[in-house]
């Protein structure tokens, strides 16, 4: 069986090299404003060929969308004498703030483990290269907990049939970005596969930035934290005084 597989791989090798991706995005920037509720991103493209497409093995496409990464601390709670307390904790470095993956089929059926390891396509493989420090030995449990929490919040999304592939040539994938986006560069990666092997890749970037007063407040909070804190206190005091005055007038 293994000899047959390698013979098949060699027979389609030249054809694989003659297939490549031509891709595009519906937009390459997202502006976060006061009324921002999310954004839809369309990734589309086609397979460019210099010769007729081989009939086997099958063609597949995978698209990933990853947000900026940052450090995350994960803690495990345990119940001691009826009280929930934090016990073991680990620090994870470079954890994606958002990660979505869409494919033309189930990943375990269209993507070989070797190519997943090489390109770090799946969320599990992407998380496995995260640097970990902490006082817990069972790091795998903390990685799984991070993925589970991210999925529950809608920040980690998997669409096993999210790529629509027409005539083994045209494809599209739709992503619905949530409202709680982290500002920064979002990376879109597209993979063309045959028989579980990646034969071509493309990468593009989406610029996600705050605009308007949100941008000004964010800059002030990071560059002038003392002034930002004073203004926040004054605003809270004015809002409290105004509410009390309105309540006093209403009681009259």
Beta strands in 125-196 (DSSP E): 132-134, 156-159, 163-166, 170-177, 184-194
pLDDT at 223: 64
pLDDT at 246: 76
The two structure tokens encoding residue 188? 């879109």
pLDDT at 201: 96
pLDDT at 219: 57
Number of C-beta neighbours around residue 182 at 10 A: 15
Question: Residues 66-118: pLDDT tens digits?
Answer: 999 988 888 777 767 667 666 777 888 889 999 999 999 999 999 999 999 99
Give the containing element (helix H, strand E) for 66.
strand 59-66
pLDDT at 11: 45
Per-residue CA distances from 122 to 33, 110, 147, 148, 206 (Å): 31, 12, 12, 14, 20
Token pair 């597989």 in the structure block, residue: 5
Residue 193 backbone dihedrals phi, psi, to 5 degrees: -130, 150
> 68: closest CA among 224, 213, 180?
180
Beta strands in 168-231 (DSSP E): 170-177, 184-194, 197-210
SS3 category, 107: helix
What distance in Å separates the CA atoms of residue 68 and residue 74, rounded to the nearest whole number? 18
pTM of the model: 0.75
Q: What interhelical angle do 225-251 and 213-223 show, nearest 10?
A: 120
Question: Residues 14-26: pLDDT tens digits?
Answer: 444 489 999 999 9
pLDDT at 214: 56
**pLDDT tens track, the chain, 252 positions:** 434 443 444 444 444 448 999 999 999 999 888 778 889 999 999 999 988 888 788 899 999 999 999 888 887 777 676 676 667 778 888 899 999 999 999 999 999 999 999 999 999 999 887 777 765 567 778 888 889 989 999 999 999 999 999 988 999 999 999 988 888 999 999 999 999 999 999 999 999 988 755 555 555 555 666 665 776 777 777 777 777 777 777 776
pLDDT at 243: 74
């Amino acid at each position: 069986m293994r000899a047959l597989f390698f013979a098949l791989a060699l027979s389609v090798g030249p054809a694989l090299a003659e297939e490549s991706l031509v891709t595009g995005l519906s937009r390459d920037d997202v502006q976060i404003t006061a009324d921002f509720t999310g954004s839809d991103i369309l990734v589309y493209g086609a397979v460019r060929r210099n010769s007729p497409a081989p009939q086997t093995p099958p063609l597949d496409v995978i698209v990933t969308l990853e947000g900026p990464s940052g450090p995350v601390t994960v803690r495990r709670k345990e119940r001691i004498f009826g009280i929930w307390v934090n016990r073991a904790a680990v620090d994870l470095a470079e954890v994606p703030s958002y990660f979505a993956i869409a494919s033309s089929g189930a990943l375990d059926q269209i993507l070989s483990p070797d190519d997943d390891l090489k390109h770090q396509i799946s969320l599990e493989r992407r998380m496995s290269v995260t640097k970990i420090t902490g006082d817990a030995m069972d790091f795998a449990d903390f990685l799984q907990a991070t993925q589970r929490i991210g999925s529950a919040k809608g920040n980690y999304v998997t669409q096993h049939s999210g790529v629509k592939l027409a005539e083994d040539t045209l494809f599209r994938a739709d992503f619905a970005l949530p409202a709680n986006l982290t500002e920064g560069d979002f990376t879109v990666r597209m993979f063309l596969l045959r028989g579980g092997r990646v034969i071509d890749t493309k990468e593009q970037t989406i610029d996600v930035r705050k605009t308007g007063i949100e941008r000004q407040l964010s800059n002030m909070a990071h560059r002038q934290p003392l002034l930002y804190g004073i203004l926040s206190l004054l605003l809270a005091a004015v809002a409290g005084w105004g509410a009390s005055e309105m309540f006093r007038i209403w009681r009259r």
